[in-house]
Structure 1
């Protein structure tokens, strides 16, 4: 079972990702990246560039 209590990896502020779509997952948002991987983030901290 996946535990959401442990932080896996962090990225520096200003890192740009190619996000395909935002997938709601309970109280968090999962961001589907262009390479097929998912990351989680607080949507308030995500900024759309294009």
Structure 2
């Protein structure tokens, strides 16, 4: 089969304001920071897989 990775991200990482999704506002800075953290985690995961395969 085709390898599949699904990532779910808590809105608390990138939204500010209300806990109600209808009134919460995405914060571009927080979204950028969350994206960087997620990318780093994925890169580390991939690097470990590559090391195990060698």
Normalized against structure 2, the TM-score is what?
A: 0.20
Tell me which structure has the larger Cα radius of gyration. 2
Give the strand-richer structure, 1 or 2: 1
Normalized against structure 1, the TM-score is what?
A: 0.21
